[in-house]
Amino acid sequence: MIALASAVSPQLDEQGLREIAFAAGADDVGFVALDDPALDDQRADILAAFPFTRMLVSFVVKMNRENIRPPARSLANLEFHHANDDCDSVAHRIVRALEARGVRAGYPPVGFPMEADNWPGKMWVISHKPVAVAAGLGRMGIHRNVIHPKFGNFILLGTVAIDLDVGRSSAPLDFNPCLECKLCVAACPTGAIAPDGHFDFAACYTHNYREFMGGFSDFVETIADAKDARGYREKVSDSESISMWQSLAFGPNYKAAYCMAVCPAGEDVIGAYAKDKKTFLRAIVDPLQKKEETIYVSRGSDAEAYVRRRFPHKRIRHVGSVLRPTNVDNFLGALRNIFQRNQSEGLNAVYHFTFTGARRRQATVVIANKKLAVQEGLVGKADLAVTADGETWIRFLRKEASLPFALLSRRIKLRGDPRLLLAFGRCFPA
């Protein structure tokens, strides 16, 4: 019988792996050992999917950037979908070539993760961006996209897990191609990217990913809440219905990705920007800023205030929460992603959370100076202590349970100034 180990003794080195990747259609490739410290927070998930993994092959497929730059998002999404398919095909061909040489290998999808049981937590098997950075294929820019030194951020990333050790990982880049030009800040329609480097995950996710995952759930609930067709049309425009159907029929469409469209970094990209910045701004950035469009925001969010102030010609559409927790673990895990720092202005408080029931957790949340910190356990002295049955707390957050009833029934107990709970809620409108 053939054992699970390689059926053929592989004779592959780093150069051989590179040749396989390039022959499969990759535009660049790098390698990182599974024991690299950069993968500490991913290693368990990788081994759960591919227990044979010793190294990761990270590769790049470049995109056609002129399709991504226009205000017409249909052009950009066409390129995203084609490049995504190409990237998955490259990974497939790499794995096929390695298996033919007796090397065990596997790959996750490039995008559109489908481990939906983990929602709203991590739904993807491998996080491609940190792997690519560790493998020397680029560095993260202020817009949270990986910037390749040659192709800029007009790339998609793929990863292949292999049962092989070529003996040497690729070295991370010793410089960051990001120009810190802040064009991504200027173009972002929701203010998700701040000049000081702060990133508002909820603002980006609520708008740009409206037709993905959580946004689709909110859309379906809007339909369910409508009494009839007329009631539905009062909540959802015809164009939004058509857009959602197009996403279902053709593939999920991004609403913006303007940060990628305007980025001038990369040897192949920077020429036009370096030659004439004013012309670059007029041709690439201005049309996106001036575009009249609908921006999806949570009511009371930093994004709503930003759109009203910065882009008054863009239409605001209030939508429900798209990152609703399903248990106390992902409630605590999501706080950093949905924290609205401007809504927390003037608040300096320590919160102790004790959750009882099936999932028992204790955590300390500190909000001070427009910053958030979440720690395991009860640390320091609390300004407000919340003790709650975990399931009741989640139902309260999802607007499925009454807070007054939960307080009267002692399923949720407060010790401290209850007004601090209201202040806490304002910091997390999503």
Helix boundaries (H) for 276-389: 277-280, 286-290, 302-310, 328-338
Residues 6+ apart with CB under 8 A from 202: 298, 301, 303, 323, 337, 338, 339, 340, 430
Q: Which residues on adjacent β-strands are paired with residue 368?
A: 371
pLDDT of residue 5: 44
Which pairs from 375-383 meet CB under 8 Å and 24+ separation? 378/352, 378/354, 380/350, 381/350, 382/350, 382/351, 382/352, 382/415, 382/416, 383/349, 383/350, 383/351, 383/416, 383/417, 383/420
- What pTM was computed for the model? 0.91
Strands 315-318 and 294-297: parallel
Q: 328-426 has which fold?
A: Nonspecific Lipid-transfer Protein; Chain A (3.30.1050)
Rounded to the nearest integer, the mean pLDDT of the chain is 93
Q: How far is the C-alpha of 375 from the C-alpha of 382, rounded, in Å?
A: 13
Helix (H) or strand (E) holding 297: strand 294-297
Q: How far is the C-alpha of 414 from the C-alpha of 302, rounded, in Å?
A: 28
CATH architecture of 14-162: 3-Layer(aba) Sandwich (3.40)
Q: Name which of 397, 207, 405, 408 is nearest 318 in CA terms.
A: 207
Q: Name which of 58, 55, 51, 43 is nearest 10 in CA terms.
A: 55
Q: How far is the C-alpha of 340 from the C-alpha of 370, rounded, in Å?
A: 8
pLDDT of residue 114: 74
Q: How far is the C-alpha of 13 from the C-alpha of 77, rounded, in Å?
A: 37
pLDDT of residue 10: 58
Q: How far is the C-alpha of 265 from the C-alpha of 268, rounded, in Å?
A: 8
Q: How far is the C-alpha of 325 from the C-alpha of 241, rounded, in Å?
A: 26
Low-confidence ranges of the chain (pLDDT < 70): 1-10
Instruction: Report pLDDT digits (tens) over 263-290.
Output: 999 999 999 999 999 999 999 999 999 9
Instruction: Report pLDDT digits (tens) over 178-196.
Output: 999 999 999 999 999 999 9
Angle at alpha carbon of residue 128, lines to 84 and 8, rounded to 5°: 90
pLDDT of residue 214: 79
What are the structural domain ranges in the chain? Answer: 14-162, 183-318, 328-426
